[in-house]
Chain A
Amino acid sequence: MALDLQMPVLVVDDYKTMIRIIRNLLKQLGFEDIDDAADGTEALEKMKQRRYGLVISDWNMEPMTGYELLKQVRADSGLSKTPFIMVTAESKTENVIAAKKAGVNNYIVKPFNAQTLKGKIEAVFAD
């Protein structure tokens, strides 16, 4: 799978400032089509209406967490192949293991920098 800067990216976070930060970093990396959602439920609705090339999601959100979103995306045959990066403050080993088992493509622990985000996106599309 090649990295296409034209592909739509969905950023999911309940904290508006974090969406703004990731949006700005993605713009700096060359992405132009960036959409956002405030939790897993809203993200899932948007994903059913539009085909996103990448989802970048927080873990801890209400009512649907990023972990639940990941599991629902992987269980849906129409969405299951969507690259999914978890960006979260949840840094316990069991979180990483659970996300990996659920099919996450990469995992970034907050706080992070632009270089880490860039590196993880590139790694996902290099696989």
Chain B
Amino acid sequence: MAAMTKENMARVIEFLQENKSRGGDVSLNDVMHLAEVMSGSMHEFLTVVQPAVTEELQLIAREITRMKTEISALRANDMKTSRIPDAGRELDAIVEATESATHSIMEAAEEIMSADPSDIDAYQELVSNKMIEIFEACTFQDITGQRISKVVSTLNYIDERVTTFVEKLRIPAGMELEAEESEEERRKRELILHGPQHKGEGVSQNDIDALLNSGSQDDIDKLFD
């Protein structure tokens, strides 16, 4: 690779020596002159490296364009402003519907429990009416099922987009930054809040009973093996 010639180097040294005793008294013309001497001295070097630099810059520009295309394909704004809020609304509606249905069912059951059975005909009629109310309330399951399908569809959409994005950007699995623990995560860890487990994942009531009745450290340790 070409480097600064002895002649050019000497010109820069000469310039600096001539001006070293001037302290802070430097004008714009002096700066321009130094720049001129420096650029003249680097001319040969830049002539050699320029094609390689240009090629690198073109590669970087192409990569930035490709990333912009992939970010557009992610449709992040669509997710943020439409799909995720829609899924949130569906989940809110599910909570509301299940709560309302549970309330109706419990109301009917409580009325049956507190009814006077001494008048058999009246009691039978009340039970029959309340049973119909319970069946009606159970229709929530069909609607919530459809709502849950919409939420699952949104999750699949997001999963598909993010997976494609990660693949296109060729982000290796080990490259992810260590996530900082949030306040909510810290609370969950310290207060041992795992939430409900899936079938077969948590301990059963029988295991719990055995554990509480055993009292020995050995039995407790066995559960961690």
List the A side residues contacting B208 at CB < 8 Å.
91, 96, 107, 109
Classify chain B: how many residues form its interface, as a range: 20 to 34
> What is the minimal beta-carbon distance from B225 to any residue of chain A, in angstroms?
11
Q: Is B24 in the interface zone, CB < 8 Å from A? A: no
> What is the minimal beta-carbon distance from B217 to any residue of chain A, in angstroms?
10
Q: Report 9 cross-chain contacts, Cβ distance below 8 Å, ordered by A residue.
A: A17-B103, A24-B106, A24-B113, A59-B193, A65-B193, A91-B197, A91-B208, A96-B212, A108-B205
Q: How many Cβ-Cβ contacts under 8 Å join chain A to chain B?
A: 70
- Is A91 a contact of B193 with CB atoms below 8 Å? no
In the complex, chain A residues 58-101 whose Cβ is within 8 Å of any chain B Cβ = 59-60, 65, 67-68, 89-98, 100
- Is A89 a contact of B196 with CB atoms below 8 Å? yes
- Is A67 a contact of B212 with CB atoms below 8 Å? no
Given known A-B contacts A17-B106, A20-B106, A96-B203, A65 and B191 have beta carbons under 8 A apart: yes
Provide the bound-state CA to CA distance between A17 and B104, in Å: 11
Q: Is A125 in the interface zone, CB < 8 Å from B? A: no
Question: Residue on B with the closest CB to A86?
Answer: B208
Residues of chain B at the chain A interface (Cβ within 8 Å):
99, 102-103, 106, 109-110, 113, 191-197, 202-205, 207-208, 211-212, 220, 223-224
Choose among B103, B113, B212 the residue with the greatest number of A CB atoms under 10 Å from its CB: B212
Provide the bound-state CA to CA distance between A116 and B204, in Å: 13
Q: Is A110 in the interface zone, CB < 8 Å from B? A: yes
Give 8 new A-B contacts, CB below 8 A, not counting A17-B103, A67-B192: A59-B193, A60-B195, A90-B194, A90-B195, A90-B196, A91-B196, A96-B203, A112-B205
- Is B99 a contact of A60 with CB atoms below 8 Å? no
Q: Is A21 in the interface zone, CB < 8 Å from B? A: yes
The secondary-structure label for the interface of chain B is: helix
Provide the bound-state CA to CA distance between A95 and B207, in Å: 13
- Is A109 a contact of B212 with CB atoms below 8 Å? no
> What is the minimal beta-carbon distance from A46 to any residue of chain B, in angstroms?
21
- Is A90 a contact of B203 with CB atoms below 8 Å? no
Q: Is A41 in the interface zone, CB < 8 Å from B? A: no
- Is B113 a contact of A89 with CB atoms below 8 Å? no
- Which one of B106, B109, B194 contacts A92 once the chains associate, using CB atoms below 8 Å? B194
- Which one of A21, A91, A100 contacts B203 once the chains associate, using CB atoms below 8 Å? A91
Provide the bound-state CA to CA distance between A110 and B196, in Å: 8
Provide the bound-state CA to CA distance between A17 and B195, in Å: 18
- Is B212 a contact of A92 with CB atoms below 8 Å? no
